[in-house]
Amino acid sequence: MARAATTRGLAQRRDLAWYVAALIVIALLSAPQAFAIRRTSTRHRILHHLKSLLWNPMFRPSHNSLLRQNEEIDRLDLPRIQDDDELEALKASGDLVPIVSSEALKIEPSLDPTRRYCRPWTRDFVQDLSEAYYREFHAQIQVNSAVRTVKVQKKLRRHNRNAAPVDGDTASSHLAGVTVDLQRRGLTKQQLVFVERYLFYLNALGLVEPEEERRHWCFHVMVAESYNDWRQTQTIFPVAPVEPRAPAPASAIAAIGASN
């Protein structure tokens, strides 16, 4: 009996604690206008915390992910593109190739045409994903961002404090042309799951390093050079293969010959 009473007492105190906490939150969110600045700040922190608890993507951005992206770039000995002159030289040499819109792929109109470029294996990944997505939903995947120069990244960091740095072990992989940002906002739940599963499979093979960015609602995807070799081993049918026709029976052939 004493144990039961103790259990009831603990439950009552826990309920009381939750009740008091709820009253505090309500009081903070409905404070008088005299405390408008403090109320706004508190509300922002509470809402930000609640959103962070509710937002649980498959590929959450992390420090380790940035390290892995830069390890691949360093392994390939790729340069971080400093300015437009280096960018144009890489285009001229074919080290960077254009991303071209198609029935299955569209490009964010505001993306500078001079930066609609990436490494060949990254372009192949975008093409494969967009075609698979189109076959499933008859809708287009959108590229929001591709290659960037250090100059562009510095400008971006002035407006977005979450943007990756321009140097070091966690530098933006966009600077090497191996990464694209794909539109995530506006996808249905079914479309979102499709893309996440597609990326999960390739990530398990070590072919892509994806992140789901919350601020810009996009898939940030770094593609490894090994994607090109893996791709050559796959049998890809953009459309269903046509079944070969069965040969005509010998009796039918003989009848045709007789009629002639």
**Tens digit of each residue's pLDDT (9 = 90 or more) over 226-243:** 999 999 888 754 444 444
Domains of the chain: 2-54 (no CATH), 63-232 (3.30.1380)
Q: Three-state SS for 238?
A: coil
Q: In the structure, what pLDDT confidence band is assigned to residue 112 with cuts at 50, 70 and 90?
A: very high
Mean pLDDT of the chain: 80
Q: Is the pLDDT of residue 41 over 80?
A: no
Identify the CA nearest to 100 among candidates 120, 71, 79, 80: 120
d(CA 58, CA 200) in angstroms, rounded, equals: 8
Q: In the structure, what pLDDT confidence band is assigned to residue 40 with cuts at 50, 70 and 90?
A: low
Could you read off the pLDDT of 6-22 as tens digits, one per residue?
A: 445 544 555 555 554 55
Region of 186 please: left (phi>0), alpha (psi -120 to 50) or beta: left
Q: Which two tokens stand for residue 91?
A: 């285009």
Q: Which two tokens stand for residue 15?
A: 């309920």
